[in-house]
Amino acid sequence: MTTRDFDRETRRVECLEDNAKSLTRNIQKQDKAFDEFSKGQVKLVNDLTSSAFINHYQLNQQTQPSSSHEIMTNWKQTSQKIYEQTNLMNEMTTKTITESSKRLVMAMNNVINSIKKREQSLNDYLKIQNKLDKINEKKMTTNKLEQMQKQLTDAKQQYELKNSLLTQELPILHERRAAFVYPCFEAFIEAQAHYCEQLEDAYNGLVNIMNVDSNSNSILDEINTKLAGIKTLSIVASE
C-alpha cells in the first residue's frame, strides 16, 4: 500500500467515525421527539378529560350513541397504548442503532489510535536515522554509533510491524463495517414499521368506536356548520 493509499484509508476511517457519531446524535433526537409526542398525547387526553370543555358536553349519534365520557375513556386507553409502543420502539432503536453506533465509534477510536502510533513510530525512525546520518558524516566509530544503529533497527521493525498490520487490516475493516451496519438498519426499519402499524391499529380502533365519517371534507363541513350555529347567537356576534 502506497502512502497515498494509506492516507486515503485513514480519511475513510475518520469519516466513518464522524458518520457514526452523527448517526448516534440524530437517532437520539428522533427518540426524544417520539417520546415527547407520546407523552404529549397522554397529557392532552388527561387535560381534556378533566376540563369543563368536555365534561359539560354530551355527544350523541343516532347510529351508535356514545357519550363524551366513553370517547375520552377510549382515547385515554389509545394514548396509553401509543405511549407504551413508543417506549418499546425507542428501546429497540437504542439496542439496534444507538448502542451499535457507540460501539462502532469506540472501535474507530482504537483504529485511529493505532494510526497515530504508526505515525509516531515513523517519526521516531526518521529522527534516529537523521541522527545516525550526522554521526556518519563525522566518520565516528564509537559505541554511540553502534547504539544508534541498534536503535534504528528496532525503530524500523516497530514501524514496519505497525504499518504492515494497518495496511492489511484497514481494507478488511471497511468490508466488515458494512456487514455490521446493514443488519442494524434492517432491525431499525422493522421496528419503525411495526410501530407505525401499532399506531394505525390504535387510531383505527378509536375511530371505529366513535363511528365518525372517514371523509375529511364531510367532517370539516360538520365543524363549520356547528361553528356557524354558534356565531348566530347574538352574544357571539361582534359589535
Predicted confidence at residue 117, as pLDDT, reads 92
Q: Is the pTM of this model over 0.75?
A: no
**Residue 31 near residue 94 (C-beta atoms within 8 A):** yes
- For 75-90, the pLDDT digits (tens) are 899 999 999 999 999 9
Which percentage of the chain shows pLDDT scores above 90? 29
Quick: pLDDT tens for 107-131.
Answer: 888 988 998 899 999 999 999 899 8
Residue 166 has pLDDT above 70, yes or no: yes
Q: What is the pLDDT of residues 28-70, one digit of tens each?
A: 999 999 999 999 999 998 888 877 666 655 444 444 445 667 7
Q: What angle do CA 77, 83, 87 make, to 5 degrees?
A: 145
Q: What sign does the CA torsion over 199, 26, 173, 165 have? A: negative
The grid coordinates listed for 95 are 439496542
The whole-number pLDDT of residue 7 equals 82
**Nearest-angstrom CA–CA distance, 6 and 117:** 14
